[in-house]
Amino acid sequence: MPSASASRTGPLPTDRFLNRELSWLDFNARVLELAENDSLPLLERMKFLAIFAGNLDEFFMVRIAGLKRRHDMGLTVRSPDGLTIREQLELITRRTQDLVQRHADVFLKDVAPRLEDEGIRIVHYEDLEDDAARRLREYFRDQVFPVLTPLAVDPGHPFPYISGLSLNLAVSVRDPDSGVAHFARVKVPNNVPRFVPVGPTGQTATFLPLEDLIAVHLPQLFPGLEVLSHHLFRVTRNADMEVEEDRDEDLLQALERELSRRRFGPAVRLEVTDTMDPQILEVLLSEMEMRPEDVLHVPGLLDLSALWSVYDLDRPELKDDPFVPATHPRLSDGETPKSVFATLREGDVLVHHPYYSFATSVQRFIEQAAADPQVLAIKQTLYRTSGDSPIVNALIDAAEAGKQVVVLVEIKARFDEEANITWARSLERAGCHVVYGLVGLKTHCKTALVVRREHGVLRRYCHIGTGNYNPKTARIYEDLGILTADPRVGADLTDLFNTLTGYSRQTNYRTLMVAPHGIRVGLIEKIRREARHAAEGKPSGIRIKANSLVDEKVIDALYEASQAGVTVELLLRGICSLRPGVPGMSESIRVRSIVGRFLEHSRVMSFANDGEPEWWLGSADLMHRNLDRRVEVLLRVCDETARTELQGIFEAAMAPDVRCWELGSDGSWAPTGERDYQADLLRRAGEHAG
């Protein structure tokens, strides 16, 4: 219940929520600010340009697509901050166009000229010397021309389907005999390098955009016709899927059907260069049934996410210093790996990736379990993993060795659906028991359970984490995990897997909070407990680290806690719908965001609890989808050493001089601080490992 002091303030104001879509755009603006930061290595700045572009693609494919679908259905629902769908779309359009202009400016006016000073150039065809132009003519003839398909548009040739995120040339050609102009489309192939090397690449490298190479050779595609003009464009389509799970149909088949449909989702964004001919633009809008407000005018190159290929150049002096993740000191004896099982019998191990190696901790845990003849069973959830995954290979080895292996593969993990279907079938062929979770829910929790026979007794070893079992992203995502032999955690995970694979309806656990039934209720109860303690003059305080905070019920509970005098510290990388620092409502709430070399991905919550602090970590962000439509797990951290380490991580992140962004009561984010928190953790992990 709200505290007495909270009740005296009256009802919470109606403008207490920030818009989640605009807050997401603010997050991507923070990514863009890193690209604008000239103190960062040059190719790292270019990396953030590519990340910004990829982020924006996904935002339109999912979030904007959803808003437009609801708008076209005539729904009149308002967002929690009171905006209609149309008002949201108008604000998003204006904000996005401003960000796209900034994005293009920092590349064209700052990063590209500095790259040229370092010998890395992206040129136009007319800039090439004769020898280079000749070599590229041969390259076009041998490698590009055979895969091009010019598509005419006339009464006998309907307007072609434009696939999502593909680059295309809209070409205007004229018949010299009749004088009649025609429209044609040429797709820039995505299986040919976007940036074509002009000569060898090394300390210097020159690239020509593939669309430039195609454009200059358009007469070869339309012999006998006069090429009047060409304009580059790119379409984004709705990529969100709604899989019907209540039919008597195999989920795998239903998902594969939806994947094929996703290619043909309605268009939601049209990107064009700022030199686009208005008449050509009108044709595109008409044929693809789009509106002028769906158009983004982009100066310079379209699709800067392709800059990843330039980032891959071997120019270490233009990148962050390389690092090798340290092995957790408790998991090795000098250079010799220790048994994970023997280590966990001595106490829990908290692993903080990428500072501590995923390969020598979590991955080694699964690999040792697969190879250990005393291990009888391995049960694991897989939400996203990587190509040629050592985790999947270890599970296959375990099954082939006769162990009971149960794998819950979440085949509805957005944009990883096809890969996860492939993993599921590989695991099934090896003899693993593969399940797809609960109807209507995504299984997002990160859990592994190993059952081992020791001296005639079965003992359970567990991992619960905040990140996916993906060795590649574990080097660039910041995540946390607990490796433990605590019997209570083992009993809870056993119960959880029985729920996921069978018909159990268990919702209460010893050391876990599990969504969709337990996390929102559990967190709100703990937040209100802090409010009661504050009202009674007892020690109180709340700290939350997450990717996003959107859930209105949790936000209102935090407001009530603040009104009761609880100090609330929130470390949120992405979206925040809470408005901090408002007198009488949230003046004791502080929100900051750290965006840097590693993607801050862990979810951790702590409650002062009258001097007996609780720490929780797990997979759940504070969003509707996580709390209502996913199986998520938060683990209560009971190991004192692990709790102390979590406290140190949080205090380091909230130190006043750390480079971050602070959220103001007006919804604006302000940069502050200079010290690189992530660099400090890298140094600290190296010292501990040494």
Active site positions, annotated = 444
Are the CB atoms for 526 and 518 separated by under 8 Å? no
The arrangement of strands across the sheet holding 205-209 comes to 120-122, 205-209, 195-197
The amino acid at residue 376 is L
Closest CA to 32 of 89, 83, 88, 106: 106
Residues with Cβ within 8 Å of residue 13, at least 6 apart in sequence: 585
Place of tokens 């910004």: 52
The amino acid at residue 496 is L
Q: Other C-beta atoms within 10 Å of 674: how many?
A: 9
- Computed on alpha carbons and rounded to an integer, the radius of gyration of the chain in Å comes to 27
Does the N-terminal peptide bond of residue 337 adopt cis geometry, omega within 30 degrees of 0?
A: no
CA distance 234 to 250: 35
Are the CB atoms for 167 and 234 separated by under 8 Å? yes
Angle at 232 between CA 241 and CA 227, to 5 degrees: 135
Are the CB atoms for 50 and 306 separated by under 8 Å? yes
What is the separation, in whole angstroms, between the first and last Cα of the chain?
50
Q: Other C-beta atoms within 10 Å of 423: how many?
A: 23
CA distance 657 to 609: 28
What is the total residue count of the chain? 690
CA distance 209 to 195: 5
List the helix and strand counts (H, then E) for the chain. Answer: 22, 29
Residues with Cβ within 8 Å of residue 415, at least 6 apart in sequence: 58, 239
Phi, psi of 201 (to 5 degrees): -110, 135
Burial class (CB in 10 A: 0-12, 13-18, 19+), 376: middle
Closest CA to 483 of 363, 390, 371, 386: 363
CA distance 190 to 306: 10
Residues with Cβ within 8 Å of residue 496, at least 6 apart in sequence: 445, 447, 506, 509, 512, 514, 633
The amino acid at residue 373 is P
Place of tokens 């970590």: 617
Q: How far is CA 518 from the centre of its chain?
A: 25
Phi, psi of 5 (to 5 degrees): -65, -35
Burial class (CB in 10 A: 0-12, 13-18, 19+), 155: exposed
Closest CA to 31 of 106, 114, 120, 108: 106
Closest CA to 187 of 154, 147, 138, 216: 147
DSSP state of 437: -
CA distance 547 to 571: 8
